[in-house]
Amino acid sequence: MTTPTFRPVRDTGAFLAELAMLAGLAAAGVGLGGSTGIRIALAVVFPLVAAVLWGLWLAPRAGRRLPRTRRIVAKVALLAITGGLLVAAGHPVLGIAGFVVTTAVVTTAELTS
């Protein structure tokens, strides 16, 4: 368990990491697409798919929330996919650093909740 004063910081950090993941997916979509239409579609579809998956199984109020271990694995997998897509889109430093930081924050939040 966490101390009551740490909880808002932990939860805010996890939320910001999740938003960073969605922004990274949108940026990767723009960087990976060929034509303008494909870039826009990928920039919308990538974060939308991640948000739906997160909402179904990973969010605190998800109706079918995964058990902790599976939830951590799924979150790290989504963050790794985001990092990999950013690397493939030509942003290797952002992809790797983003993966490391967001994974650390999200994992810490899960393990201390």
CA distance 8 to 99: 22
4-54 pLDDT, tens digit each: 678 899 999 999 999 999 999 999 999 998 899 999 999 999 999 999 999
**What global pTM score does this model have?**
0.92
Q: Which residue has the tokens 């899960």?
A: 110
48-97 pLDDT, tens digit each: 999 999 999 999 999 999 999 999 999 999 999 999 999 999 999 999 99
CA distance 55 to 88: 26
Q: Which amino acid is at 22?
A: L
92's CB contacts (< 8 A; 6+ apart) are: 86
112's CB contacts (< 8 A; 6+ apart) are: 1, 2, 6, 10
As given in the structure block, the two tokens for residue 72 are: 């951590």
As given in the structure block, the two tokens for residue 43 are: 């920039």
